[in-house]
Amino acid sequence: MARNKFDVDENLESPFDIRHFRRAMIYIKRKKKPMIIAFILSALSAAIALSAPLIIQHVVDVTIPSKEKLALLGWSLLMLLTIVVSVILATIRSRIMTSVGQDIIFDIRTDLFAHLQQLPFKYYDDRPQGKILIRVVNYVNSVSDVLSNGIINFILEIVNLIFIAAFMFAVDVRLSFVILAGLPVFFGIMLLIKTRQRRAWQAVSNKSSNLNAYMQESITGIGVTQIFSREQQNAGIFTRLAGNFRKEWMRAVSYNMLIPFSVDNLSTIVTALIFLVGLLTLDPVDATLGVILAMSSYAARFWQPILNLSNLYNSFINAVAYLERIFETLDEPVTVSDIPGARELPSVQGRVTFDNVTFAYDPGLNILENISFDVKPGESIALVGPTGAGKTTVVNLISRFYDLTRGRILIDGQDISEITLKSLRSQMGIMLQDSFIFSGTILDNIRYGKLDATEEEVIAAAKAVCADDFIREFDQGYLTEVNERGSKLSQGQRQLISFARTLLADPRILILDEATSSIDAKTERLLQKGLNELLKGRTSFIIAHRLSTVKNCDRIMYVSNKGIAESGSHEELIARQGLYHRLYTAQKMEA
């Protein structure tokens, strides 16, 4: 998938082959029983409908010349009955397959979402969110009909062709070969355009993905767009991307339209040839008017399944492009996962050890190199240093959001790569720099990491982080509904709610990444009182830009040059007059 670019087409890492479609059959097999019933109903409906030309032939050649009015009425009622029964059976079949199609959508989408939940941070770091979303929503919708109705209809149309051919040859062999004469021309056209058609729909998939990615990015960043008056430029980018999509869509549709255009014209030509050959060259005794009418009717019916099969082929070509994207996502390796035989991490004391740790987001570009340190249970550690030095990386590695390049991280002496992710992360309270608020009530947001928490426990956590006062100012208090990302709240309020959510989980290891960056000085002082109590007995890692917030930590580590450049208490580092001293002095002068 294209890396962090909305205007770069996606290139598949492996070409499509029939094994992808066989893989899709897993979802179809789950609905085998209703699909068999639908096929039987379809076959009955088609067989009943095929009796109509025979009724017409008999009426034209026998009933009308003999002027049997009662018989004519009987045949007319029988004709009407065949139509009604055929429609009823087709309707029942349609309802069954609609349900099957939605079940297939549900299964594929559920598998995709479950897999996305397991993929590591790196997958999301490298990819535009819009290009991920389109696979779960749009692409799954696009393949569902092919994987349900498409399979049934394909088999049914083949059966229809066999039935129609049998009826045709039973009526007149010579005229049947006239009808079949157009097939070589049709197959030649299909072979000529099939490769171009698949590439065209792959291009449509690419442009659709690009457009979706840019829309998602634009909606997320609408505030920045309006601040910098970028509306006109962004509209220009959107117009370009939409224009590219329109261009590729029209090109792909032109290939699709070529097939029904060819079938319609071939059907017309074949029908004309039936009348020409039947009336001018064949013996009138053998080729009666009823026979010619019946054969012209079968000619239209014969080419209709071929048209349907060609449309199914078009749908299959479209679905192939989407299946490739869907299975590419499902095949993304879960690089951070439980190893075979992973152990449950028991209740931890909170000792954290880095043993010669090296880490790189991209091979060969190390962010951290050969870092070693030991943190005692209950010790508070501050990580400071320049932007991009690797402070957040350190705490992300403790939570095993990424796997190490080399070395080990131990918690209470146990290698975190050998324990289950759930038992590891369930004992950690992590507040990242981005305070994400989910749609729902404030109560639900605070309770997000501990669903069985009582309302009293939620309120206690909010009070501890000084969030209770502003929450109660809302008309609905803790039951106030907030939008996705907390758009009704200030940045500081979002951080306080996120902080309460983290603390409610009562973690043994607490990680705070710029937790107070958007809180005013007065609130920060109040918050610090609560934190001093909450940090007791917990191992904590605190990343903060304002050094005044970490002065009281047991140990301060200055992260720089891919490692720990300095380590000690605030007083010890000030006395050394090194990197920390210079940073602290600079901040005091700015204040």
For residues 89 and 45, is the Cβ–Cβ distance under 8 A? yes
Q: What average pLDDT does the segment 449-469 reach?
A: 86
**What local confidence, expressed as pLDDT, does residue 85 receive?**
86
d(CA 368, CA 13): 30
DSSP for 35-46, please give it.
HHHHHHHHHHHH
Q: Is 286 helix (H, G, I), strand (E, B) or coil?
A: coil
Mean pLDDT, the chain, rounded, equals: 81
**What local confidence, expressed as pLDDT, does residue 372 receive?**
94
Is residue 54 domain-resident?
A: yes
Q: Which residue has the higher pLDDT, 69 or 241?
A: 241
What is the total residue count of the chain? 591
Range of the domain at 24: 18-330
Q: What average pLDDT does the segment 54-82 reach?
A: 81
Provide the CA 49 distance to its chain's centre, in angstroms: 42
Q: What average pLDDT does the segment 511-538 reach?
A: 67
- Flag whether pLDDT at 577 surpasses 70: yes
Q: Which residue has the higher pLDDT, 31 or 373?
A: 373
Is residue 52 domain-resident?
A: yes
Share of the chain above pLDDT 90, in %: 14
Q: Which residue has the higher pLDDT, 532 or 449?
A: 449
**What local confidence, expressed as pLDDT, does residue 405 receive?**
92
**What local confidence, expressed as pLDDT, does residue 434 receive?**
64
User: What confidence category does residue 539 fall into, taking pLDDT thresholds of 50, 70 and 90?
Assistant: very high
d(CA 332, CA 124): 12
**What local confidence, expressed as pLDDT, does residue 273 receive?**
80
By mean pLDDT, which of 156-165, 206-215, 314-323 is the weakest?
Answer: 314-323
How many other CB atoms are there within 10 angstroms of residue 121's CB atom?
Answer: 13
**What local confidence, expressed as pLDDT, does residue 91 receive?**
86
d(CA 448, CA 442): 10
Is residue 523 domain-resident?
A: no
Q: What average pLDDT does the segment 227-235 reach?
A: 78
**What local confidence, expressed as pLDDT, does residue 516 receive?**
63
**What local confidence, expressed as pLDDT, does residue 373 receive?**
94
- Flag whether pLDDT at 30 surpasses 50: yes
Provide the CA 361 distance to its chain's centre, in angstroms: 24
For residues 449 and 457, is the Cβ–Cβ distance under 8 A? no
- Flag whether pLDDT at 222 surpasses 50: yes
**What local confidence, expressed as pLDDT, does residue 5 receive?**
59
- Flag whether pLDDT at 352 surpasses 70: yes
Is residue 585 domain-resident?
A: no
**What local confidence, expressed as pLDDT, does residue 259 receive?**
77
Share of the chain above pLDDT 70, in %: 88
By mean pLDDT, which of 318-322, 550-554, 566-570 is the weakest?
Answer: 318-322
How many structural domains are present in the chain?
A: 1
- Flag whether pLDDT at 564 surpasses 50: yes
- Flag whether pLDDT at 236 surpasses 50: yes
Six token digits for residue 248: 């590729």
Q: Which residue has the tokens 């002496």?
A: 413
**What local confidence, expressed as pLDDT, does residue 527 receive?**
62
Is residue 320 domain-resident?
A: yes
User: What confidence category does residue 305 fall into, taking pLDDT thresholds of 50, 70 and 90?
Assistant: confident
Most confident segment among 191-200, 219-228, 345-354: 345-354
Six token digits for residue 241: 């991307």
Most confident segment among 170-184, 291-305, 394-408: 394-408
Q: What is the CATH number of the domain that holds 102?
A: 1.20.1560.10
Is residue 571 domain-resident?
A: no
Six token digits for residue 511: 């990680």
- Flag whether pLDDT at 57 surpasses 90: no
By mean pLDDT, which of 34-43, 91-100, 268-277, 416-425 is the weakest?
Answer: 268-277
By mean pLDDT, which of 6-10, 77-81, 303-307 is the weakest?
Answer: 6-10
d(CA 409, CA 400): 9
Q: What average pLDDT does the segment 445-465 reach?
A: 86
**What local confidence, expressed as pLDDT, does residue 31 receive?**
83
Regarding pTM above 0.85, the answer is: no
| CA torsion, ordered 325, 326, 327, 333, to nearest 10 deg | 90
**What local confidence, expressed as pLDDT, does residue 43 receive?**
77
**What local confidence, expressed as pLDDT, does residue 13 receive?**
46
Q: What is the pLDDT of residues 380-438, one digit of tens each?
A: 999 998 888 889 899 989 989 889 999 999 999 999 999 999 899 888 887 766 677 87
Distances (CA, A) of 564 to 403, 410, 556: 20, 18, 10
Q: What average pLDDT does the segment 296-300 reach?
A: 76
- Flag whether pLDDT at 572 surpasses 80: yes
**What local confidence, expressed as pLDDT, does residue 397 receive?**
93
DSSP for 167-189, please give it.
HHHHH-HHHHHHHHTTHHHHHHH
By mean pLDDT, which of 160-164, 457-461, 520-524 is the weakest?
Answer: 520-524
Provide the CA 153 distance to its chain's centre, in angstroms: 27
Q: What is the pLDDT of residues 247-282, one digit of tens each?
A: 988 988 888 788 778 777 887 787 788 777 766 665
Is residue 177 domain-resident?
A: yes
Q: Which residue has the tokens 């910098």?
A: 228
By mean pLDDT, which of 32-36, 92-96, 224-228 is the weakest?
Answer: 224-228
Six token digits for residue 575: 């006395």
Instruction: Return the half-sphere exposure (C-beta side, CA atoms, 13 A cut-off) of residue 488.
Output: 14
By mean pLDDT, which of 91-105, 147-161, 385-399, 448-462 is the weakest?
Answer: 147-161
Q: What average pLDDT does the segment 429-450 reach?
A: 80
Rounded to a whole number of angstroms, the CA Rg of the chain reads 35
User: What confidence category does residue 165 fall into, taking pLDDT thresholds of 50, 70 and 90?
Assistant: confident
User: What confidence category does residue 328 fall into, taking pLDDT thresholds of 50, 70 and 90?
Assistant: confident
**What local confidence, expressed as pLDDT, does residue 89 receive?**
86
- Flag whether pLDDT at 488 surpasses 80: no
Is residue 230 domain-resident?
A: yes
Six token digits for residue 221: 């960043």
